[in-house]
């Protein structure tokens, strides 16, 4: 079997299972990562070469230097695929593919999975519901927008991952003050209507334009709320027979089809408006979900998204068939919270539904599984109450976020 060479790009510590599986399938792995995380527990047994990039600021590299370094790599190695392991790396990988004509998602398509303004425009053009939005390039257009769309609004970065950098705006004066404070970076933001409602995430695998696996889940505390106010992060999977799952499966397929996704893993978020009950597209990404969501998905389905994504990439490289194992259908729940001590005492949390404790410093992290959705909800509620009554810390320790 011919060995293929895959370059994995990641500015965060993630993708252990992906690289391990790729190596198991008979491939050569080259990792390009940030210099400040080189001491992490990477799957060194699976990595043949590693190169480090200094960070200009968190997650940001000098892209000219990345291209220059890659050109030297290409002189003596045939690179068969370039894979972005984190949302922040999608742009880097697309640039490399375009520059060196390596197959995979290029810079045009990547914007639909990275740039929130491009996402919204594409969704709107595809007749997919999105919250009312506007670019913030032109003052007159902004004034027209806020004259038609009542506050509150949300000012958000076009290219940040998760809920980073999002500001909720309640008045016109507050908005202009926020826009002025952005200075030369104003064009990197967008403004949209704030829609109260329940937020959901859909995690998928696609092979040759066919969605071969879908897991849908509901956040029990919106990520934006947890990111800005602190608190307990919780999410739970939905039963495949539920109306919520069926609606999300349909709208998720519409997003991926219209956005031009051909292969790989995706994490997409939707909100169900409390005002009109409709589903609205929030954002998507061509990567595996963060915040230990893969652990949630695996507990409910027995599908390891990282490893299945590796199998998809391997099948594409070798022009062979890919078949996913039939998923199991359990209910699963995930809870993560920042706490005051480095290592939590889990003795008060123990119960038979626990699948695993997540090894994250200064956090409680638990994954539950059951054949009964009500039991999962009860376990999540009970754990949240225990955390809130004495363990919770709302001031994060210094350092990079874990997801």
pLDDT tens-digit readout, 48-57: 999 999 999 9
Domain housing 379: 197-391
The predicted structure's pLDDT at residue 277: 95
More confident residue, 15 or 226: 15
More confident residue, 397 or 136: 136
Of 37, 11, 12, 14, the C-alpha closest to 292 is: 14
Mean pLDDT of 333-341: 94
Phi, psi angles (nearest 5°) of residue 389: -85, 5
Residues 90 and 141 in one domain: no
The predicted structure's pLDDT at residue 316: 97
Residues 298 and 218 in one domain: yes
Residues 85 and 137 in one domain: no
Mean pLDDT of 305-324: 97
Domain boundary residue, one of 88, 104, 120: 104
Mean pLDDT of 279-285: 96
The per-residue pLDDT for range 68-117, each reduced to its tens digit, is 999 999 999 999 999 999 999 999 999 999 999 999 988 888 889 999 99
Res. 16: pLDDT tops 50: yes
Domain boundary residue, one of 193, 209, 233: 193
How would DSSP label each residue in 48-90? SEEEEE--SBTTB--HHHHHHHHHHHHHH----EEEE-SGGGH
The predicted structure's pLDDT at residue 395: 60
Question: Residue 71 maps to which CATH number?
Answer: 3.40.50.20
Residues 365 and 270 in one domain: yes
Percentage of the chain exceeding pLDDT 70? 95
Q: Is residue 249 part of a domain?
A: yes
Question: Residue 358 maps to which CATH number?
Answer: 3.30.470.20
Q: Is residue 38 part of a domain?
A: yes
Residues 172 and 236 in one domain: no
The predicted structure's pLDDT at residue 394: 75
The predicted structure's pLDDT at residue 164: 59
Residues 225 and 374 in one domain: yes
The predicted structure's pLDDT at residue 226: 62
Residues 147 and 88 in one domain: no
Residues 219 and 180 in one domain: no
How would DSSP label each residue in 108-168? HHHGGGT-HHHHHHHHHHTT-----EEESS-HHHHHHHHHHSPSPEEEEESS-STTTT-EE
Mean pLDDT of 19-40: 97
Mean pLDDT of 348-354: 96
Res. 60: pLDDT tops 80: yes
Q: Is residue 202 part of a domain?
A: yes
Average pLDDT across the chain, whole number = 93
The per-residue pLDDT for range 240-268, each reduced to its tens digit, is 999 999 999 999 999 999 999 999 999 99
The predicted structure's pLDDT at residue 402: 40
Question: Residue 164 maps to which CATH number?
Answer: 3.30.1490.20
Domain count, the chain: 3
Residues 318 and 209 in one domain: yes
Mean pLDDT of 191-210: 97
Domain boundary residue, one of 193, 227, 244: 193
CA atoms within 13 A on the CB side of 150: 1
Of 266, 297, 263, 272, the C-alpha closest to 284 is: 266
213 near 327, Cβ under 8 Å? yes
Q: Is residue 56 part of a domain?
A: yes
349 near 323, Cβ under 8 Å? no
Res. 344: pLDDT tops 70: yes
Mean pLDDT of 197-208: 97
Q: Is residue 109 part of a domain?
A: no
Q: Is residue 399 part of a domain?
A: no
The predicted structure's pLDDT at residue 204: 98
Res. 272: pLDDT tops 90: yes
Q: Is residue 397 part of a domain?
A: no
Q: Is residue 126 part of a domain?
A: no
């Amino acid at each position: 079997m011919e060995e293929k060479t895959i370059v994995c790009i990641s500015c965060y510590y993630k993708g252990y299972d992906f690289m391990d599986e790729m190596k198991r399938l008979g491939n050569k792995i080259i990792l390009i990562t940030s210099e400040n995380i080189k001491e992490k527990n990477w799957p060194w047994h699976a990595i043949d070469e590693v190169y480090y990039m200094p960070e200009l600021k968190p997650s940001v590299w000098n892209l000219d230097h990345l291209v220059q370094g890659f050109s030297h790599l290409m002189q003596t190695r045939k690179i068969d695929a370039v894979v972005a392991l984190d949302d922040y790396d999608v742009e880097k990988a697309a640039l490399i593919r375009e520059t060196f004509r390596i197959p995979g998602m290029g810079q045009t398509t990547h914007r639909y999975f990275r740039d929130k303004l491009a996402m919204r425009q594409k969704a709107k053009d595809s007749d997919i519901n999105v919250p009312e939005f506007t670019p913030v390039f032109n003052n007159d257009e902004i004034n027209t927008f806020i004259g038609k769309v009542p506050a509150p609004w949300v000012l958000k970065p076009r290219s940040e991952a998760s809920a980073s950098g999002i500001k909720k705006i309640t008045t016109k004066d507050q908005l202009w003050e926020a826009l002025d404070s952005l200075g030369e970076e104003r064009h990197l933001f967008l403004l949209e209507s704030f829609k109260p409602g329940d937020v959901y995430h859909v995690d998928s695998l696609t092979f040759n334009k066919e969605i071969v696996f879908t897991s849908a889940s509901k956040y029990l505390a919106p990520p934006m709320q947890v990111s800005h106010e602190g608190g307990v992060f919780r999410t739970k999977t939905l039963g495949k027979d539920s109306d919520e799952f069926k609606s999300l499966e349909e709208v998720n397929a519409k997003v991926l089809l219209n956005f031009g996704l051909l292969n790989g893993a995706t994490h997409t978020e939707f909100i169900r408006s409390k005002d009109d009950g409709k589903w609205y597209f929030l954002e998507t990404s061509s990567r595996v979900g963060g915040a230990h969501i893969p652990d949630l998905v695996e507990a409910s389905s027995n599908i390891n998204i990282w490893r299945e994504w590796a199998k998809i990439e391997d099948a594409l490289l070798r022009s062979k068939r890919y078949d996913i194992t039939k998923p199991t259908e359990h209910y699963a729940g995930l809870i993560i919270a920042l706490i005051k001590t480095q290592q939590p005492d889990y003795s008060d949390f123990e119960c038979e539904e626990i699948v695993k404790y997540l090894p994250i410093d200064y956090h409680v992290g638990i994954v539950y599984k059951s054949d009964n959705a009500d039991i999962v909800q009860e376990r999540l509620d009970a754990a949240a109450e225990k955390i809130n009554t004495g363990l919770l810390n709302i001031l994060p320790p210094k350092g990079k976020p874990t997801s």
